[in-house]
Structure 1
Amino acid sequence: MRTHFTGIDWIVLAAYFSGTMAIGFYFYRKSRSTEGFTAAGRSLPGWVCGLSIFATYLSSISFLALPGKSYASNWNPFVFSLSLPLATWIATRWFLPYYRRTGEVSAYAHLESRFGPWARVYAGVFYLLTQLARMGAVMYLMALPLSVLLGWDIRTIILITGVSVTIYAFVGGIVAVIWADAMQSIVLMAGAGVCAVVMLLGMPEGPGQVFSIAAANDKFSLGSFGLSLAEPTFWVVLIYGITMNLQNFGIDQSYVQRYIASRSDREARKSVWLGGLLYVPVSAVFFFIGTSLFAYYQVHPSALEEVRTAVAVQKLQSQRLDPAANPDALVEIRENLTQDEIGDKVFPHFIGARLPAGITGLLIAAVFAAAMSTVSTSLNSSATLLMRDYYQRYVNRHANERQSMRVLYGATVVWGMLGTAVALLLVQVTSALDAWWTMSGIFGGGMLGLFLLGMISRRADNPAAVTGVCLGMLVIAWMSLSSRLPDDWAALRSGLHAFLIPVFGTLTILLVGLLIGRFRRAGQRAKIK
């Protein structure tokens, strides 16, 4: 079994990495102004911005975590993708026209004009926390296959990646990120197709065996259609997907910058539809890869044992223990591995052990480049927000171009360091996809609820918004922390699935704000009479 790079793989990886970095340096001159660094001069075609939006979804999270989830369980997380068409339509109907009309590069300027400075600060802080969680998950998942193939410690790979991606974002700005996204999304789609074909052809009884084994194990299930709110049922994941995708398209700084970067309203609409709808079938391919992996290892049990051993070794090494010196611990870990623990690691092992030389290098290069692209997007949007919403708003209202660029560069470096630190913490988690979804839901903080309140209701004023946000934050804190209460306080636990945290946070802010706004308006009318 080949578990290391060949010379061809190294050449492919080096060439791809060099080409990606070259894009950043090529666009250096176009990113030396705040307008170029944050909005690409507002001159890009819609198809490029659309592929960039698509690539924002199609990160190493999709490439590795989605197959891991369908391998370990079923297609339940695919329901998240099914919510995208609705979110895309809403985005093109309401969100995009607003941002294009105002021309404001900050996604949260609307909140300040509607409710005051506090609302802009509130949304900005939680957006920045969400990006830290995203960067950490992406870099961690990218480091998984490289650690398997190269035999390097995963922490070392994360550190190298963090430095590289920070340099890339520092030099290229948003214009380089968007063009690199377009190229990398095409490579990743091609790589996914190659993997699916190799697995189907590797079945002893032909491709049909994948479907028979998957059907016998209920691997294509979209989850329970029951009404329980304590489990990730079809409805829980669907509601979560609608909420998070509305948050992505409506108030995510990364997406708003792509709306602004498009050269016309028509091109901007094209970018949203292309990015949103393309992800649905492509994500299905990634889930199918996970299902095919399950079938493949069912008929190749010796290969599965090799995977289990490699995962156990990696887990022991993460505890800074030498597997050779601790054989009993290695056996114990190996025998007690869960499906979830194997899930995130099984696809990287397949790439390293079963794909032809050269193809392995290309796929790993694509995963690495996708991580660079996604993280650099988060770095650029976070730096933009820190410069526009905090530095220019509160520190130096009359900042010149040179001062603003210094802030952009400094924020990029600091956020790169913090994102790398989060990735190092994720080394200890069981499922990176669950960790990312949970963190993004918590850090989302109900931002969507405040934004929708400002767009939907003219009656809701500042007191209504403040009250809604305070109650929404209490709900989020309760749902996030109550599971840790001691048994004596078990009655106070929420009992709701973590995916519902952003849903209930959003609804609380929106409904409380609407009700208080209505009562206050009625009270004001009564006083006038």
Structure 2
Amino acid sequence: MNNLRAPDLVIIGLYLAAMIGVGIYFSRKNDDADQYSRASGSIPGWAIGLSIYATFLSSNTFLGVPGKAFGTNWNAFVFSISMPFAAWIAARYFVPFYRSTGAISAYTHLEHRFGPWARTYAVVCFLLTQLARIGSIFYGIALTLQALTGFSMELIMLITGICIIIYTVLGGIEAVIWTEVVQGVIKTIGALLIIGLIIYDMPGGVAKVMEIGQANNKFSLGGFSPDFTQSTFWVVFLYGFFINLNNFGVDQNYVQRYHTAASPQQASKSIWLCVWLYLPASLLFFVIGASLFAYYQVHPEFIQAVKLQVAATNLPQTATAAQIAEAAARLSPADYGDKVMPHFMVTKIPVGFVGLIVSAILSAAMSTISSGMNASATVFTVDIYQRYFKPQMTGRQTLWLLHLATVCFGLFGMGTGIAMIGVKSVLDIWWELSGIFAAGMLGLFLLGVISRQTRSHEALTATISGIFVIIWMTFSGSLPDEYAGLRNTLHKSMIIVVGTLTIFLIGLLLTKLRRGTAVYNTTEPAKQSVH
């Protein structure tokens, strides 16, 4: 059943039309590949910072973070706390490095250091990461709009995907950045509107939220013991540091933006603007999750409605009411956390406000998807097609290929989102997949930048070792009981930490051993001649 009234539909329609209009406006300037991929270095730093902020503030944050806070606590907020540490390294070292190379792709440097295999491996890791990111965001937006419209999640992904593809293909990176500036403002206003409506309708207001939250340990950041098998403060902090270092330092989504700035200083300032905007914004979404938990504790009948809805979705259509009720009784808050905010929107938000909030959620999804599509198309064009198939391409051919690749990655992302239908937590699935795919890319990049003496075969050996470690940490939990001793006992968020360090440290060790052997072979004959 469609829960959107005419005013809401008008607001959503105007928003989608405006985004397509932005793409049409900027399409007049996209007459070459340089303008399409880097906007000819003409974007001010504050706009780039807002753009990066909007990319971080995706629908995974808009929907996944409140769901996570509802189902558990504020442990995931430690991810945001780690951001300034990664941002300092990126602004100090990575931005000047990329600006000095002038290469639009973040991975060209790896070929110069280690050969074509390194560049290709990093590109594959990046593209898989983007598919996971785009897919999880498509799934998150479909989850909300299905509750509001009654349409199938597949149809919702198709409609929103077509709109995103149109304005991204037409407008290029400049349209992506300027629409993200607008979207960053819209999604922040949407979050403030949601928390305002929750508190307004909450008996006892903020004091009651605090009381219920403290009684249920909702504000905990996780344990501080050095336990890496659970989602402690330190596990999430390490995960956040490495993921954010990957985002700011290696991810083409962000590196490509550094090239659109007028100067390295402007590019560095954009990183810090993103950090200081995202920290309070992400905290706001954790407050929303804790407030929703308190609200639904005061109104237990709403919790039962959500649980019945989730249970019915997970069971066959032939399930009886008794079977659905039995399945619902077994659900924990972590099992239905992602479904709570869509339910609140359907039942409690007034007409007109729903349209504004849906537009905010759409903007959260569209900003990240569009930037991921543009960056993926750029990487595919530069690092794969031009590198291996057709090095000499005219400007018109390159621009045409960028358009085609953008469309293809948008479609692939939709397919990934459809494959994710049914996952318990959109934030959990994104964190797990990003950790798996990003670990090898970040480890290899750090090895190439920090260790100037490491050679190609040493880097290759280290990378292969890291891949085996990542595979083992990811899949060893499924080993049969007779091989229980071989299972990975570390928390899944540690995959990127261990995988990155494996590649980096093995590469350093092999380099040290080679140099030590070379010194020994050089000095040994001299020692013999003395005797």
SS state at 1:192 partner: helix
Q: Which residue of 2 aligns with 1:162?
A: 161
Q: Which residue of 1 aligns with 2:305?
A: 306
Q: Which residue of 1 aligns with 2:182?
A: 183
SS state at 2:29 partner: helix
Alignment match of 1:391 (pick from 371, 385, 396): 385
Give the letter aligned to residue 391 of structure 1: Y
Q: Which residue of 2 aligns with 1:194?
A: 193
Comparing 250-259 with 16-25, greater Cα deviation is found at 16-25
SS state at 1:474 partner: helix
Q: Which residue of 2 aligns with 1:79?
A: 78
Q: Distance in 2 between matches of 1:145 and 1:376?
A: 19
Report if the CA contact (8 A) 1:20-1:369 is conserved.
Answer: no
Q: Which residue of 1 aligns with 2:402?
A: 408
Q: Distance in 1 between matches of 2:404 and 2:113?
A: 30
Residue 303 of structure 1 and its aligned partner are, at CA, apart by 2.4
Q: Distance in 2 between matches of 1:354 and 1:322?
A: 30
Q: Distance in 2 between matches of 1:156 and 1:104?
A: 39
Superposed CA deviations along residues 409-444 of structure 1, whole A, max 9, x for unmatched, are 221122122111110111121111111100111111
- Is 1:436 paired with 2:435? no
Report if the CA contact (8 A) 1:3-1:352 is conserved.
Answer: no
Residue 3 of structure 1 and its aligned partner are, at CA, apart by 7.5
Q: Distance in 2 between matches of 1:91 and 1:219?
A: 33
Q: Which residue of 2 aligns with 1:33?
A: 32
Aligned length: 523
Comparing 472-481 with 162-171, greater Cα deviation is found at 162-171
SS state at 1:446 partner: helix
Q: Distance in 1 between matches of 2:196 and 2:366?
A: 26
Q: Distance in 2 between matches of 1:261 and 1:101?
A: 14
Q: Which runs of 5+ in 2 are unaligned?
A: 524-531
Residue 160 of structure 1 and its aligned partner are, at CA, apart by 2.1
Alignment match of 2:456 (pick from 458, 462, 471): 462
Residue 166 of structure 1 and its aligned partner are, at CA, apart by 2.1
- Could you state the TM-score of these two structures normalised by the residue count of structure 2? 0.96
Q: Distance in 2 between matches of 1:42 and 1:59?
A: 25
Alignment match of 2:369 (pick from 344, 366, 375): 375
Give the letter aligned to residue 219 of structure 2: F
Superposed CA deviations along residues 386-413 of structure 1, whole A, max 9, x for unmatched, are 0001111111111111221222122112
SS state at 1:428 partner: coil
Comparing 223-232 with 213-222, greater Cα deviation is found at 223-232
Residue 261 of structure 1 and its aligned partner are, at CA, apart by 0.7
1:472-483 correspondence runs (5 A): 472-483=466-477
Comparing 378-387 with 393-402, greater Cα deviation is found at 393-402
Q: Which residue of 1 aligns with 2:15?
A: 16
Report if the CA contact (8 A) 1:143-1:154 is conserved.
Answer: yes
Q: Distance in 1 between matches of 2:313 and 2:468?
A: 39
Q: Distance in 2 between matches of 1:163 and 1:521?
A: 55
SS state at 1:31 partner: coil
Q: Distance in 1 between matches of 2:138 and 2:81?
A: 26
Q: Which residue of 1 aligns with 2:269?
A: 270
Q: Which residue of 1 aligns with 2:88?
A: 89
Report if the CA contact (8 A) 2:38-2:259 is conserved.
Answer: yes
- Is 1:339 paired with 2:339? no
Q: Which residue of 1 aligns with 2:97?
A: 98
Residue 18 of structure 1 and its aligned partner are, at CA, apart by 0.9
Residue 71 of structure 1 and its aligned partner are, at CA, apart by 0.3
Q: Distance in 2 between matches of 1:333 and 1:10?
A: 35
Q: Which residue of 1 aligns with 2:411?
A: 417
Report if the CA contact (8 A) 1:31-1:175 is conserved.
Answer: no
Q: Which residue of 1 aligns with 2:528?
A: none
Q: Which runs of 5+ in 1 are unaligned?
A: none
- Is 1:59 paired with 2:53? no
Superposed CA deviations along residues 64-83 of structure 1, whole A, max 9, x for unmatched, are 00000000010000000000
Comparing 269-278 with 63-72, greater Cα deviation is found at 269-278
Residue 322 of structure 1 and its aligned partner are, at CA, apart by 6.6
Give the letter aligned to residue 31 of structure 1: N
Q: Distance in 2 between matches of 1:332 and 1:378?
A: 41
Q: CA distance change for structure 1 residues 48 and 184 in 2, over 3 Å: closer, same or farther?
A: same
Give the letter aligned to residue 157 of structure 2: I
Q: Distance in 1 between matches of 2:256 and 2:433?
A: 23
Report if the CA contact (8 A) 2:462-2:502 is conserved.
Answer: yes
SS state at 2:421 partner: helix
Residue 335 of structure 1 and its aligned partner are, at CA, apart by 2.5
Q: Which residue of 1 aligns with 2:526?
A: none
Q: Distance in 2 between matches of 1:431 and 1:170?
A: 31
Q: Distance in 2 between matches of 1:23 and 1:315?
A: 40
Report if the CA contact (8 A) 2:73-2:217 is conserved.
Answer: yes
Report if the CA contact (8 A) 1:137-1:423 is conserved.
Answer: yes
Superposed CA deviations along residues 238-267 of structure 1, whole A, max 9, x for unmatched, are 001111000001100000011001112221
Give the letter aligned to residue 327 of structure 1: A
- Is 1:295 paired with 2:294? yes
- Is 1:513 paired with 2:511? no
Report if the CA contact (8 A) 1:136-1:424 is conserved.
Answer: yes
Give the letter aligned to residue 467 of structure 2: M
Report if the CA contact (8 A) 2:3-2:149 is conserved.
Answer: yes
